[in-house]
Amino acid sequence: MNADGSAQRKLTSFRRNLRFDPVEPVPGGANAPTLRGDITPAWSPDGKFIVFCGQSIRTGQYELFTINLVTRKRTQLTHSAPGLNHISAAWSVLPKTGLSLG
């Protein structure tokens, strides 16, 4: 959406798989909120993607996903062990150190 709230576009269509119970961020945690839907979105530094946490269709757990804002392709980034849920995501830019990652 634009900064003024106009031109809103829905990027995800969360459909909770009814085989799974709602997820607690910390299983059995005191006063843990119940998670529903796609949560904690963050823009990529180049503005081409959004990263967010969403429920895996396969396991019902919260995993990290990206959405390409041009193609609207959703890609699952993590495949966690049972009982582990991702509930927060953020992008970071590598510091300019002169080192390469390749």
* Residue 83's pLDDT band (cuts 50, 70, 90): confident
2 to 28, 34, 43, 93: CA distances (angstroms): 39, 30, 14, 24
Distance, CA of 93 to CA of 11 (rounded, Å): 24
pLDDT of residue 59: 79
DSSP secondary structure letter of residue 97? -
Q: Which amino acid is at 15?
A: R
Report, as an integer, the average pLDDT of 62-91: 85
Each domain of the chain, given as residue ranges in start order, spans: 39-76
* Residue 99's pLDDT band (cuts 50, 70, 90): low
Report, as an integer, the average pLDDT of 10-23: 59
Distance, CA of 66 to CA of 38 (rounded, Å): 11
pLDDT of residue 18: 43
- pLDDT of residue 54 exceeding 70, the answer is yes
